[in-house]
């Protein structure tokens, strides 16, 4: 059941364990779809996704557009060489930033208010969202990708569920403000020659994504509220770390995600 949340969200505590217990977020929702056991371990503070250079390059570009690159640099001494110069991955991140900032359309879409937080009740949960660039009539999310190529035969937007993310953003923003905005991904790539696009998610797809989310939420909330056991996918890093073999599995099941539920 939906209950009123009194936990006050700020930029500082947005990613805290308390905030993740009190609120559903798009990344938490996607965690539950990938592996319920890992999602619960993250919420309980038993597992943290390991940081990689690829993720950190993405965060570097995010921090630039947020206007917090100085803070980011102070918090991440590992991005510098001994002589104080940036490591090559982050020099390249500066080139990506320069490339997209030379594009008028990209800059226009990234010129909104940054990292605005909104909350609302939806599908039995309190949700929190943080919008990268909020324009007077648009919601824009920045993605710094390896490439813009399809993944396993589908657009990277569908594969990484960025359409679901923007469907939730549009709906929570609407519930919080009464205004329904068009949604876009501002995408750039970490390729040697960076690619860039502004990608519109059409309303029909946002509606479809919201409907899928609505159907999945009762089960996810039952697991989150510990009314239903979390299913182990058996192949993700968390499941591999904590795996205990109890009996042989069938040869045709090996390497596949356990999708019992
Ligand atoms: Zn797993």
Rg for the chain, CA atoms, rounded = 20
Ligand 1 center to residue 38 CA distance, Å?
5
Q: What is the model's pLDDT at position 118?
A: 96
- Any domain includes 242: no
Let me know the angle formed at the C-alpha of 199 by 194 and 203, rounded to the nearest 5 degrees: 165
Give the mean pLDDT of the chain. 94
Q: What percent of the chain has pLDDT over 70?
A: 97
- Any domain includes 96: yes
Kindly report the length of the chain. Answer: 261
Ligand 1 center to residue 203 CA distance, Å?
32
Ligand 1 center to residue 18 CA distance, Å?
23
Ligand 1 center to residue 171 CA distance, Å?
29
The answer to whether the beta carbons of residues 173 and 179 sit under 8 Å apart is yes
- Would residue 173 be called left, alpha or beta, if left means φ above 0 and alpha means ψ between -120 and 50 degrees? alpha
* pLDDT bracket for residue 17 (50, 70, 90): confident
248-261 pLDDT per residue, tens: 999 999 988 887 64
Ligand 1 center to residue 14 CA distance, Å?
25
Q: How large is the average pLDDT for residues 32-56?
A: 94
Ligand 1 center to residue 206 CA distance, Å?
28
The CA distances from residue 141 to 57, 69, 144, 168, 174, in Å, are: 16, 18, 10, 12, 16
- Any domain includes 187: yes
- Any domain includes 181: yes
Q: What is the model's pLDDT at position 2?
A: 46
The CA distances from residue 152 to 126, 156, 169, in Å, are: 33, 9, 26
- Any domain includes 55: yes
Ligand 1 center to residue 255 CA distance, Å?
12
1-13 pLDDT per residue, tens: 445 556 788 888 9
- Any domain includes 19: no
Q: What is the pTM of this model?
A: 0.93
| CATH number for position 208 | 3.90.320.10
**What is the span of the domain harbouring residue 62?**
51-218
Q: What is the model's pLDDT at position 6?
A: 63
Ligand 1 center to residue 258 CA distance, Å?
8
Ligand 1 center to residue 190 CA distance, Å?
28
Ligand 1 center to residue 215 CA distance, Å?
22
pLDDT of 25 higher than 50: yes
Ligand 1 center to residue 238 CA distance, Å?
6
- Any domain includes 246: no
Ligand 1 center to residue 118 CA distance, Å?
30
83-115 pLDDT per residue, tens: 999 999 999 999 999 999 999 999 999 999 999
What is the C-alpha separation between 78 and 55, in angstroms, rounded?
13
Ligand 1 center to residue 46 CA distance, Å?
13
- Any domain includes 235: no
What is the C-alpha separation between 151 and 153, in angstroms, rounded?
5
Q: How many domains does the chain have?
A: 1
Ligand 1 center to residue 32 CA distance, Å?
10
What is the C-alpha separation between 163 and 203, in angstroms, rounded?
10
Q: What is the model's pLDDT at position 4?
A: 54
Strand partners, 116: 131
């Amino acid at each position: 059941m939906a209950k009123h949340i009194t936990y006050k969200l700020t930029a500082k505590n947005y990613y805290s364990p308390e905030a993740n217990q009190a609120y559903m977020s798009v990344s938490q929702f996607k965690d539950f779809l990938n592996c319920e056991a890992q999602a619960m371990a993250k919420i309980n503070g038993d597992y943290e996704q390991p940081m990689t250079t690829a993720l950190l390059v993405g965060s570097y570009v995010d921090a630039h557009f947020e206007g917090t690159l100085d803070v980011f640099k102070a918090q991440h001494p590992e991005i510098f060489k001994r002589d104080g110069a940036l490591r090559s991955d982050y020099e390249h991140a500066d080139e990506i930033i320069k490339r997209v900032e030379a594009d008028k359309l990209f800059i226009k879409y990234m010129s909104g208010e940054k990292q605005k937080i909104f909350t609302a009740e939806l599908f039995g949960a309190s949700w929190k969202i943080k919008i990268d660039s909020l324009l007077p009539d648009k919601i824009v999310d920045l993605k710094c990708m390896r490439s813009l190529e399809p993944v396993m035969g589908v657009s990277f937007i569908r594969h990484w569920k960025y359409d679901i993310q923007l469907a939730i953003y549009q709906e929570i923003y609407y519930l919080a403000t009464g205004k329904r905005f068009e949604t876009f991904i501002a995408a750039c790539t970490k390729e040697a020659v960076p690619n860039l696009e502004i990608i519109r998610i059409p309303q029909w797809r946002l509606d479809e994504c919201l409907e899928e989310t609505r159907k999945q939420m009762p089960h996810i909330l039952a697991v989150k509220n510990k009314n239903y056991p979390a299913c182990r996918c058996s192949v993700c890093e968390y499941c591999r770390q904590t795996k205990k073999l109890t009996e042989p599995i069938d040869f045709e099941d090996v390497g596949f995600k356990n999708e019992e539920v």
